[in-house]
Every structure is written in structure tokens, then in C-alpha cells.
Chain A
Amino acid sequence: MNVQDRRRILGPIEARPLAFPEVKSNSKEETAVVLSEFQAPSIQTTLLKNCNGSCIIENDKTSILSSIYGPRSTRSNLFEARCLINVTIKSTIFPTSELKELGSFLINVLESFVCLELYPKAGIDVFVNLNIEKVCDLSWYIPYIMMSIVLGLVDAGIEISDLPGCGFNDNNAICFTKNGSEVIGIWRDKGDIENESSFGDSLDACKEQYLQIKGLMANYLLSKLDNDKTK
């Protein structure tokens, strides 16, 4: 039996614990900043000299740089008839395990549109640097990350079967291809799915945003072609 009395009386019965006035925090809550509107970012490709392709996507608060290395030799000892893709995301804001999870998600998304069979025995390395101010969850950045990777791949001359893109609405980040007739990825981190129709609405909103992004990318690429011609 434990006979020791572990109670410690704090004082007389009338004594009240110290109460501090509630400190009103000036910093806004994460959720307070709702950036549902997609902001058309500025795009620039072929920035880095030591990689095959690169692209930077910039907003006033985000700057996402992708660099594509390869197709280059892998250290795999197995014969791979198709190319291996690797995505590494770097950020100081989000925890590494979450970034790795997003990396593995993006690998799966890339596998569905990069022409892997053209690059046997090789590997493509995608590095993404998130130079951002935290305004939202990681999923909010996925449309920009996707955009930057896709344009980086185009810049590297790696063959891709479509210009896919990603839309974000109501916590869903959904990646589309083939003009929105096919989904290649969905990433949802929080919130319940109340019913199907609300999910359907969010799906349509994401699709709209994807089409907008696709238009932006296509315009950029065509203007880049024209610039090359005039040079």
C-alpha cells in the first residue's frame, strides 16, 4: 500500500488560482486566410543551368521551383524496361514525412502521364523547392506544384501524353487529364465528405480550375515557341 499522501494543498479554500486575462492573438488562424480563388501565377522556365529542365511558378506569397534531372542512369541492379520516377519535395514549413507522402503521391500521378516506356533503364529525378509563406495546408499548394512539375518536364523535353493539371476546392486537390474526362489523382487532408452532391460540386470546381490552369500553361508554351521562332 502506498501510504504517502501525494496531495499538496495549494492554499486556503478561499484561495483562487491566478487568472490571467486572455491574450488576444494578433496572428491570424490558418483557416482565417481562405484563398479559394486561384491566382494566376507568373511562369518562367529554363532557369537552372545544371539540370535538364526547370520551372518556377510565382505568386505574391509562393515561389515553387521544380528542377528535372534525367533521364539518367539509376543505381538499380534490376533491369527496368520503364523509367523510374522520383519526386523529392523540400520545404522548411511542412514536416518531412508529409512531404514524403506528397512525393509518393506525385510519383503515382506522374506515372500516369509520363511516357515511361520510352526511357528504359533510366530514372527521372524531380526536385521541388517550396519557397513559400504558409497561408494554407499543403494540399492548397498542389495545383502550383503540379504546374511547376509539368512545365519542368516539358522544358526537359521529356515526353508526356498530356498537359495535366490540378484544381483545389473544398479541401480536395484533384488532378485531371484529357480535358477533365479523367482523374489521375485526388488528395484530401481534412474535412468530412458530407454527401455526394457536395463532392460532385467540388469536383466540378476543381475541373474548372484545371481547365484554367491548362489554358495558362498552353498559352505560356505557345508564346515560348513563338519567341524561339523570332530569335
Chain B
Amino acid sequence: MQGLPEQAIPGQILAPQFDLLEPVVTNNTNGDNDTPMKEDPTIIMYINGTGTKLINYPINNSSTNSKELTVISSTKLGKVYSYDVDAPADYKNLDQSRKIQFKMISVGNSELMKQSQGRSESNNILPREGDVIICRVSRISLQRANVEILAVSTKNIPIDSGVGTNGTGTVAVQGGSGAQTFSVSQASSDVGETFRGIIRSQDVRATDRDKVVMIDCFKPGDIVKAQVISLGDGNNYYLTTARNDLGVVFARANNGAGGLMYATDWLSMTSPLSGITEKRKCANPF
């Protein structure tokens, strides 16, 4: 077994998928015979974490007997981390006599990586199933609220501070992936190119989910903490606020004209300046 490199560049091969940990040969001295104790070697199965990928690499270039080896290769520039992990859920141990150890290899370059033991993406800021996100309500109807996703928690913001991914900064709209379906002339740069989401009325709260009145839960402009249920369709992520810690976190009174309001209970918010109380589905602030 070879040690892992400290840092990696994309395409660098880090380790084979399976490796042997040779046992330390110990001389049995207390017995009469001097034969060394033969211990079974431990198999290491490397699991590809973030920033790495399992690939088949041809090891022999001659056409007659080219073999392919499954190796873990880096897909990012950064430091190499490896952690002991439990067996993956889909792993079946066929031979109980074998000792097997699981190690996850990740490549990345952030503090977040260390905290999450290599599980969290360092730069990929796309929302995924189960992620908690912050969004702004852009429009509401009887059945749903449309939102723009502003940030994804536990994810780093990239160098461009999210412009183009989830921000509303000035980005020149020229062609781009949007142009595949959209003409350049029709696009305007003040349209925030954010990911969009939908909170359906059934997903607003966990109880009485059929009696939700959307206008009593959200108003356009509210900043909402929500969780991604699914990637949804081509246009929208599907989001939920059916948890105590999810819901409106910031809102202004009088449809945005008044002052900032604070949650008084989970269904109402009050503005300390005017004393006005409005209905919202609030997130538990504590």
C-alpha cells in the first residue's frame, strides 16, 4: 500500500478502489518454532468522496491485452483528505473471513471540508435534495408560492460571490446556456439568473395541510428558510417549510412598505415601530 499524496490536481490518480494493507510480520519468540505468525491482510476499500471520481484506467496500452483498473481519480485541485467510514449502505459482505476497512477520499480546499469530514461539497453550490436554503418570495397564488433561491446553507459561496449562480449581481447576458432555448435579444441583464423554486400549499406546514391559505403564510418579498424536497421539473425546485425551524425569517409590514417585523408566534409577526401584526408562517428563530 502506498501513501496518499498530500495534494492533487484534476486527473491525478489517488488510489486503486481496493488495496491491501500488509500485516506487520511479528516473530513469534515465545514458542519453540521460529515461524512468523501469518496474519490475514486487511483489504481497504476506498470510497470516492467529493472532488474524486471512480474511473476505469487502462493499464496496458498494447491492444492485445489491455486491462482496465478501477481507480479513484481526483477531479479537483486541492488537498487530499481521507477518513475512515462505515460500510456503504449498498455494500454486501460476501466473505466474512476477510477483514475489510472503508476509507473515503475527498479532494477540496476548504474548512468546510474538514468539518464535514469530506462529505460536503466545497464549491458546488447547487441545491440538492434535503438542503436548507434561503429564498425570496417572488409571487404567490392560491396553490403555491414562487420563490428565488438566494443561498444554500453549508455551501461555500464561490469567488464570484454567487453572481450568475444564485445572486442578482450584474452579469453580461450574452448567449450563455440560456441562449439554447432563449434568444439573446430577449434576455435582459436585470433579470436575476437565480434558481427558482415552488412551495406548494400542502408543503407549507405539517398540520392541517389542506387548509393552508397561502396569503396568510407568505407575501412577496419575504425571505424564507426552506428545505428542498426534490429537484422538481425543468423550471422549479420543490421546497417545503413543514418544520418548526423553517418558514419566514425576514418580512416587512404593509407589503414591504412598513418596517421589519419580528415573529411573535409561529403564525404571526409584529412590527415594533407601528405595532402592526401580520400573518406569516414563521420560522422558529431560536
Binding site for B on A (CB under 8 A): 46, 49-53, 69-80, 84-86, 88, 115, 118-125, 127, 154, 156-164, 177-178, 181, 217-218, 221-222, 224-225, 228
Contacts and interface: CB of A to CB of B under 8 A. Distances in A.
A154 B77 contact: yes
15 contacts: A46-B159, A70-B164, A76-B234, A77-B235, A79-B232, A85-B177, A119-B124, A157-B76, A159-B51, A161-B73, A162-B10, A181-B58, A181-B61, A221-B9, A225-B9
A124 B177 contact: yes
Contact of A225 (B55, B78, B165, B231): B78
A159 B75 contact: yes
Nearest to A115: B75
Contacts, number: 154
A75 B159 contact: no
Given A118-B124, A125-B176, A225-B78, A72 B58 contact: no
B53 interface: yes
Interface stretch (B88-96, B134-142, B166-174, B250-258): B166-174
A153 to B, nearest CB: 8
A162 B71 CA distance: 13
Contacts of A53: 159
A61 B48 CA distance: 43
B171 A76 contact: no
B53 A115 contact: yes
The 5 closest A-B pairs by CB, nearest first: A123-B177, A157-B123, A162-B11, A159-B75, A75-B178
A88 B122 contact: no
A51 B164 contact: yes
B77 A224 contact: yes
B160 A121 contact: no
Interface residues of B, number: 52
A119 B169 CA distance: 21
Contacts of B9: 154, 163, 217-218, 221-222, 225
A86 B7 contact: no
Contacts of A49: 159-160
Contacts of A177: 11
B233 A71 contact: no
A50 B231 contact: no
B77 A69 contact: no
Nearest to B123: A157
Contacts of A118: 124
B169 A72 contact: no
A50 B171 contact: yes
A164 B10 CA distance: 10
A80 B73 contact: no
A228 B7 CA distance: 12
Contacts of A75: 177-178, 180-182, 187
Nearest to A103: B175
Identify which of B57, B123, B126, B171 gathers the most chain A CB atoms within 10 Å of its CB: B126
Given A123-B176, A125-B176, A69 B164 contact: yes
B203 interface: no
B179 interface: yes
B196 A160 contact: no
Given A88-B174, A125-B177, A225-B7, A159 B231 contact: no
A122 B164 contact: no
Contacts of A73: 165-166, 193-196
Interface in B99-153: 109, 122-126
A156 to B, nearest CB: 7
Contacts of B237: 121
Nearest to B122: A157
Contacts of A71: 124-126, 165
A156 B11 contact: no
A161 B10 contact: yes
Given A86-B176, A159-B124, 7 more contacts: A52-B159, A75-B177, A84-B177, A84-B180, A88-B174, A163-B10, A221-B77
B272 interface: no
A200 B32 CA distance: 66
B158 interface: yes
